[in-house]
Amino acid sequence: MGLMEGLSHWLRQIIAVILLASLIDMLLPNRTMQRYVRLVAGLFILMTVATPIMHWMKGDFTTKLAEGLDAVERTPQEGAEQLAMIEKEGAKLRDKQNIQAADLVSARLESAIRSEVEQSEKRGVRKVDVVLERGNDGSLAVAKVIVLLEPEQVGGESSRVRSAAKEVDPIADVDIQIKVDSWPSDDHEVSATPKVEGNSVNEKELNPEREARLRISALIASRFGFAASIVEVKTPVAADTANSN
Amino acid sequence: MDILQIVGIGFLATVLILVIREQKPMFAYLLASFVGVAIFLAFVGKIDNVITVLEELAARSGIPTVYLKTMLKIIGIAYVAEFGAQIVRDAGLESIASKIEFAGKMLILVMAVPIISVIVETVLNLLPA
């Protein structure tokens, strides 16, 4: 029974393929393509006739054939699609890596600037911001450096840095007194000295902050090779006003 | 009914083209190609019925769908290549038309390659080593 069923299936297949081939032969536009189409149709008929032998020789040739035909069809398009996908992934990874590199660079620079300022100025640095900018050719450049100093408090948290900074003032006072002592005879001079002293005190009260800022920005600019215009040193007061704006 | 319309359009176009060709051969060619494209597009949809019948036949008799798909692709390639080649031939460029036909033939033969490879493999296995 199984044999008869298989035989009838086979015959039906042959008839169907021959019908298909003749219909397609009819559908053809004209004679130029006819030979080629007939070749393919003949191959199909041959394969259908030889199906039992093929099944006997090796298992599933139909799927293999289907795979082969699909491969012929799809190779170029799929290749292009895959290439585009891979390139997109690559671009994404490259961007990620660039961002990571920029973060790393700015973190390193920030810590280097912080330690430099702390060492040379002997005062605390609250925050260092390094803003990087990507140029047209994809290279990174430092666009801005913002240094936010710790406020200089007289009696607040006592750190060695501050006490060292405080020691500078008494020395300056002593220096002035030496000046006063050097001209003891002249009353006019003596009366003038307090004026000088007052001026210097005023300057000291107004300017140290600004001087320190200028000094720090010059130091950073020279040490790290930035343009001085992109280095900005702020004290917390200035930062507060900036925030309120 | 349809065929009368098509033949009428064809006659009309032919007369127009014959008249125009004396003055402006370029427009005559354009008109010819447009009429050709219009007729082709208007009736290429009718082939749908034939393909449905073919698919039914394939499904009933249990022949692999790969066969039918490949055959239909071959038909499509043949039609498109032929159509393009004829339009180019109308313009008098026989050489380009034959190149288009050549491309169509090559694509059809490429379709045949997997079939040939399967058959050749089987035959080689059939022979005693």
Q: Which of A16, A37, A69 is facing B66, going by the closest CB pair? A: A69
Bridge-based pairing state of the strands A125-134 and A140-149:
antiparallel
pLDDT of residue A158: 44
| Ramachandran bin of A127, using left for φ above 0, alpha for ψ from -120 to 50, beta for the remaining angles | beta
pTM, two decimal places: 0.49
CB count within 10 Å of CB A25 equals 13
- Averaged pLDDT, A200-212: 63
Give bridge partners of residue A148 from the DSSP assignment.
A127, A234
Q: What is the pLDDT of residues B70-122, one digit of tens each?
A: 888 888 888 889 889 988 988 889 999 999 999 998 998 888 888 888 888 87
Longest dimension (CA), chain B: 73
Q: Which percentage of chain A shows pLDDT scores above 70?
A: 68
Q: Is the pLDDT of residue B68 over 60?
A: yes
- Our measurement of the distance from residue B74's CA atom to the centroid of its chain's CA atoms, rounded to an integer in Å, reads 9
Q: What is the pLDDT of residues A101-123, one digit of tens each?
A: 888 988 888 888 888 888 887 77
Rg of the Cα atoms in chain B: 21
Q: Where are the domains of chain A?
A: 2-59, 96-244
Bridge-based pairing state of the strands A140-149 and A231-234:
parallel
Residue-wise DSSP of B60-78: HHT--HHHHHHHHHHHHHH
Q: Which CATH class is domain A96-244?
A: alpha beta
All residues of chain A having their beta carbon less than 8 Å from the beta carbon of residue B58 are 16, 20
Indicate the pLDDT class of residue B34, thresholds 50, 70 and 90.
very high
Q: DSSP state, A151? A: P
Q: Is the pLDDT of residue A182 over 60?
A: no
Indicate the pLDDT class of residue A185, thresholds 50, 70 and 90.
low
d(CA A235, CA A209): 8
pLDDT of residue B18: 92
Q: How far is A137 from chain B (nearest CA, A)?
A: 44
Helix (H, G, I), strand (E, B) or coil at A140: strand
- When mean pLDDT is compared across A134-138, A224-228, B18-22, the lowest value belongs to A134-138
Q: Is A172 on the interface with B (CB under 8 A)?
A: no
Q: Is the pLDDT of residue A198 over 70?
A: no
Angle between helices A61-121 and B65-90 (to 10 degrees): 80
Residue B128, token pair as written in the block: 């005693």
Bridge-based pairing state of the strands A125-134 and A231-234:
unpaired
All residues of chain B having their beta carbon less than 8 Å from the beta carbon of residue A73 are 73
pLDDT of residue B13: 93
